[in-house]
Structure 1
């Protein structure tokens, strides 16, 4: 009788593994992945977490249509959030969000992103001739005088190296048309002096730059 019971149990277990084995394995993998995600999430420390703050648009590796915030100078990020909150810099998406942030939260956000390692932009592949044209225009325009060596940004001047191509073109066009103001109208004058093709070439060159090659060393994660 005992053998029959044991055989029945063994048969039931075997059938369970046959029919439910894949689901059980998937469940195990799901729990394992959740444990890893939770550990990584907690390792990031207090808010803001990159995993739940602005990730949809400003992913850690950048986005072609939105700016990469990683390794941007904290004073620049803070200034832009204030400008978006006041309406000085028009942004239908960021304006309302910036208005909800307190001074302490703006400072915290700016500090957090400024200390993240600068990402590469490997998704954009430009024609070598276009990149070379852009490099010549950037050198001739003396962009490094304000944006720093390697164009990694400093103080209230943003990092350009490795930004998304579409975003760079959009901002150059905005400066050219005057829809985005700049201190002393410096960027407006520079951008308006460029043809649309020139602005695309400049954006192509900047998008292909690797920030870490320029010696950018964030304070830490």
Structure 2
């Protein structure tokens, strides 16, 4: 069962809520806090934008030019202005935001004992200092989960044993094998875990695993999409 951002019990643990974009980018992660949320109640018709965009692939990147070419109502224009402003804010920050119309992500069904797709709880990793920014404007929203409520999948004995069989090599190369195949990035929720749904309209900044990071990376997952409904997602 997922909690939501309005549940204040979570805010002192993993999440810090801020009220401006400046606070979002200038607030440091610390202690258990590895997720920052610019909480917003957006006004505008984002469904209208979804209805006018053309899905070319399961994940279709939408350009600024595509957005500007839409013929929208007053509420649709308000929604577009919000998206364009968010893209500009992140671009000015030096990020490379990707705005997507999304039907679904590719599933990983190669192994029946471990999944490494984005529907599995996972962390992002980067060789350089960076953060993940994320906003769902329409459709199902992602979940995050406190680090003390998950177990790294490669540490679960039955999974680790099968991975060792799959590797079929010496122990010294096993760690490299786990990293190269991204097995070490994925986590299993504990039986009493309480994920937090990120909701729509809020702009999030999530901690990433990189050499300069001073907190644990934020464990998150993509949602199962609502049937017959596309997602409108900004991510970088």
- The two structures have a TM-score, normalised by structure 2, of 0.23
Determine which structure has greater relative contact order: mean sequence separation of CA pairs < 8 Å that are 6+ residues apart, divided by chain length: 2
Larger proportion of strand: 2
